Amino acid sequence: MSEARDLAERAGDRDPRVGLRAVAALRRLLEQLEAVQVRSARNQGWSWQEIAAELGVSRQAVHKKYGRQ
Amino acid sequence: MFERFTKDARDVVRGAAVHSERSGSQSVGAEHILLALLDGETGRASLALAALGLAERGESVRRALEAAHRRAGLTRAEADALAGLGIDVSAIVSRVEEVHGVGALSGDRGDKGWWSGRRSFSRGAKDVLERALRAALARRDRHVGDEHILLALTVLPGVPAEILADHGVTYESVTRVLNGQGESQAG
């Protein structure tokens, strides 16, 4: 509990710049993790529909983002 | 756009593609442009970098770029901000590389090119070249030279700008030595 509270306090750092930078960095990290996992799933023969279902997005969204142009 | 690029600037673009290929990256990133700039010997950017003492510190820049790779291409400031949230970026990179191979989280957020296996310029690299064009316009220079590519790298937020600043290379310091060069050439 106290550990969670510490984290929450740090996440709400008083300097907005630090907090916003962390959010932006997390978003970029997330994008890269998603790309790695989608590529891996495709290599293992997953359909766009299956990938989309796991990611909780529409098939069109994931295909538009990662599909062959 | 490239018709306005000087020979030195074109050499940097070509060199960046070679660095990208050598590193096994799927797209050309801003970091490959920085590596290509370090290779130059004759351009105005090379002279500016030498004047700022970077000629002897190329190895230090290369090491800093490798370190950024282990942070999934995030800047040190970004990795520190995430550490503040309890997120250890290097641990995530290690885990992903264990399963998906070294460089899986390479940090080059190429646009669609990576999927079809074509070598393309990442969004970041395209931003650098567009910004170089704007830097040339701002300085009322008719051509886009390697010095404008260097200026672009110093102003676009990201790993190259952070590393350059760590080595004393900023928009201001580059502008200062470029203006000095211009005066000595004019005189």
Question: Among partner residues A11, A22, A36, which is closest to B104 by beta-carbon distance?
Answer: A36
Closest-CA distance of chain A to residue B55, Å: 31
Chain A and chain B share a number of CB contacts under 8 A equal to 63
- Quick one: tokens of B75? 């800047």
CB B35 within 8 A of CB B49: no
**Which residues of chain A does B94 touch, with a Cβ-Cβ cutoff of 8 Å?**
none
> pLDDT above 90 covers what percent of chain B?
64
Distance CA A61, CA B127 (A): 25
DSSP B83-141: HHTT--HHHHHHHHHHHH-TTTT------THHHHT--EE-HHHHHHHHHHHHHHHHTT-
Q: Indicate the pLDDT class of residue B1, thresholds 50, 70 and 90.
A: low
Yes or no, beta carbons of B73 and A32 under 8 Å apart: yes
Residues B70-80 have a mean pLDDT of 90
Residue B52 has pLDDT above 80, yes or no: yes
Give the domain ranges of chain A.
2-66
Checking ipTM against 0.85, whether it exceeds it is: no
Question: Among partner residues A25, A31, A39, which is closest to B81 by beta-carbon distance?
Answer: A25
The arrangement of secondary structure in B2-186, i.e. its CATH architecture, is Orthogonal Bundle (1.10)
Which DSSP category does B24 fall into?
T
Q: Indicate the pLDDT class of residue A16, thresholds 50, 70 and 90.
A: confident
Give the domain ranges of chain B.
2-186
Yes or no, beta carbons of B79 and A13 under 8 Å apart: no
Yes or no, beta carbons of A25 and B74 under 8 Å apart: yes
